Amino acid sequence: MNKYQDLPSVDALLKHSGAQKLISKAGRELVIQLIRKVLQDARVAFKHEKNLPTNDEIIQRTHELLKNWLSPTLVSVINATGVILHTNLGRAPLSQATIQAMHEITSGYSNLEFDLRKGRRGKRSIHPEQILKRLISVESALVVNNNAAAVLLVLSALARRQHVIISRTQLIEIGGGFRVPDVMRQSGAKLVSIGTTNRVHLHDYETALREPAALVLCAHHSNFRIIGFASEPPLKEITSLAHQAGIPIVHDLGSGALLDTEQYGLAHEPTVQESLKAGADIICFSGDKLLGGPQAGIIVGKAEYLSKIKKHPLARAVRADKLCLAGITATLFHYLKGEALQKLPVWHMISTTKAEINRRAQNWKKMLGAGELIKGESKVGGGSLPGESLQTTLLALSVRKPNYFMAKLRAQPAPVIARVENDLVVFDPRTVLPEQEEILIEKIRSLLNEVK
């Protein structure tokens, strides 16, 4: 029987021609580390096996391990689910102009915090701020790394150890365990909940405002709806009452729509402009949802409050980097130029007509030479417009084992994410980017031939 001593040394294995090839790809130190791991695994396996691996087998296992170690776990996928803002799939795909702007700003140095006119240090916040001022006529703005950070920063800067009034109907939890009450407590603010689970009245706010408070917080429901015996006063009435008491209003909008979703057959999603018109003093919203940009939290509103927020120590901890600022700025330019529907994938997907979706689905069927077309529904997703859907045409495949087929699609070099409905594997054209169509069809065709 072979002994542990029969295993070759690391030095001996490094002289193997296969090891030399690996070193040229990944460097000597990493290859040594992996060879040692393979040898250790061989010693453990030897307790249950009669034979030790040969030198060639050790190098082959090292190659496989190296391939695994150097394969990124974060990869691009093809989203054929029909969920436009799919949180698990990275939410909003970016426009080409946004991608280009982010590429250019990271390819070298930039004036991130340098005033080119004065030739001295500047502020990074001015880059998206000046566009937001022009676009939605706000006094001031700040971009941070996400909307949860935006809400936390606002509460920390304006209401630490002070009361913040919020309706019980708005004590929400969104994806990832983000709970408004938890964020409020973390900020040091003291929660004052009013009303009941399903109803809050203006007089509830009026009663609460008789006691000292720093803020009134209104949070958009985002990913759920209260129906039946439920009511909330309009934001305008709440702001009017709060301002009479000298208390500012913070509106956590969540999605951050700048365009009217009703134009495309959806329910109305409150816009940033409407919140400003209703009198909200501070508005927080996401950059990577209905805005259609990279992950960010955007705070807009009155300069007297933003100045305090910008100076708070937490602002540095949650600040946006140059990649985010370049991306958000480029995304906002699309709105300023009136081209968001054409240039931003999220809004292009939302506004695409049923006829165009049907044409694409028919073309897919023709290219594939298989499947059937059925009616279906696309979702906006991303905590926006709960329960709302857009009519679509799905390419449906009847396969023997739908879940196995789906798993094989996900295992492709460019993974495909679809969904199963009534034991059919279905693909929604709405969320597949045009440049991905040929790749998608080729992968489906290849897999269909494999499982026959």
- In tens, the pLDDT along 159-182 reads 999 999 999 888 877 666 667 788
Q: What pLDDT score does 255 carry?
A: 86
- In this structure, the answer to whether residues 140 and 256 fall within a common structural domain is yes
Q: What pLDDT score does 346 carry?
A: 97
- In this structure, the answer to whether residues 47 and 165 fall within a common structural domain is no
- In this structure, the answer to whether residues 332 and 427 fall within a common structural domain is no
C-alpha–C-alpha distance, residues 342 and 334, integer Å? 9
- Range 182-188 average pLDDT: 85
Q: How confident is the model at residue 196 (pLDDT cuts 50, 70, 90)?
A: confident
- Residue 266, judged by CB atoms within 10 A of its CB (0-12, 13-18, 19+), counts as middle
> CATH number for the domain including 372?
3.90.1150.110
- In this structure, the answer to whether residues 388 and 282 fall within a common structural domain is no
pLDDT at 1 over 50: no
pLDDT, one tens digit per residue, over 308-324 is 999 999 999 999 999 99
pLDDT, one tens digit per residue, over 66-95 is 999 999 999 999 999 999 999 999 999 999
Q: What is the chain's percent helix, strand, coil content, to nearest 5?
A: 50, 20, 35
- In this structure, the answer to whether residues 130 and 179 fall within a common structural domain is yes
Q: What pLDDT score does 350 carry?
A: 96
Q: Could you give the number of structural domains in the chain? A: 3
- In this structure, the answer to whether residues 110 and 186 fall within a common structural domain is yes
pLDDT above 70 as % of the chain: 95
N-terminal to C-terminal alpha carbon distance within the chain: 45
> CATH number for the domain including 326?
3.40.640.10
Q: Enter the tokens of residue 210.
A: 């008789």
Q: What pLDDT score does 227 carry?
A: 67
pLDDT at 139 over 60: yes
C-alpha–C-alpha distance, residues 155 and 163, integer Å? 10
- In this structure, the answer to whether residues 65 and 130 fall within a common structural domain is no
Please report how the helices 17-26 and 28-46 are oriented relative to each other, as an axis angle in degrees rounded to 10: 130
- In this structure, the answer to whether residues 141 and 283 fall within a common structural domain is yes
- Residue after which a domain boundary falls, among 20, 35, 69: 69
Nearest partner of 91 among 344, 357, 435, judged by Cα: 344
Contact 346, 336 (CB under 8 A): no
- Strand segments, DSSP code E, in 358-445 are 372-381, 384-397, 416-417, 419-421, 424-427
pLDDT, one tens digit per residue, over 384-398 is 777 789 999 999 999
pLDDT at 64 over 60: yes
pLDDT, one tens digit per residue, over 19-50 is 999 999 999 999 999 999 999 988 887 776 66
Task: Please state whether beta strands 215-219 and 249-254 pair in parallel, antiparallel, or not at all (unpaired).
Answer: parallel
- In this structure, the answer to whether residues 247 and 236 fall within a common structural domain is yes
- Residue after which a domain boundary falls, among 343, 361, 390: 343
Nearest partner of 392 among 354, 431, 432, 347, judged by Cα: 354
- Residue after which a domain boundary falls, among 323, 343, 363: 343
- In this structure, the answer to whether residues 197 and 101 fall within a common structural domain is yes
Q: What pLDDT score does 228 carry?
A: 67
Average pLDDT over the chain reads: 92
Contact 383, 221 (CB under 8 A): no
Q: Is 8 helix (H, G, I), strand (E, B) or coil?
A: coil
Could you tell me the strand order of the sheet in which 249-254 lies? 140-144, 297-301, 282-286, 249-254, 215-219, 163-167, 190-194
Q: What pLDDT score does 254 carry?
A: 86
- Residue 72, judged by CB atoms within 10 A of its CB (0-12, 13-18, 19+), counts as exposed
- In this structure, the answer to whether residues 134 and 251 fall within a common structural domain is yes
Q: What pLDDT score does 174 carry?
A: 66
C-alpha–C-alpha distance, residues 379 and 85, integer Å? 8
Is the sign of the CA dihedral 79, 85, 86, 92 positive or negative?
positive
Q: How confident is the model at residue 3 (pLDDT cuts 50, 70, 90)?
A: low
pLDDT at 408 over 90: yes
Q: Which domain holds residue 264?
A: 94-343
pLDDT, one tens digit per residue, over 214-248 is 999 998 876 566 666 778 899 999 999 999 999 99
- In this structure, the answer to whether residues 171 and 294 fall within a common structural domain is yes
C-alpha–C-alpha distance, residues 35 and 57, integer Å? 11
How does DSSP assign 103-159, residue by residue? Answer: HHHHSS---TTEETTTTEE--TTHHHHHHHHHHH--SEEEEES-HHHHHHHHHHHHH
C-alpha–C-alpha distance, residues 448 and 425, integer Å? 12
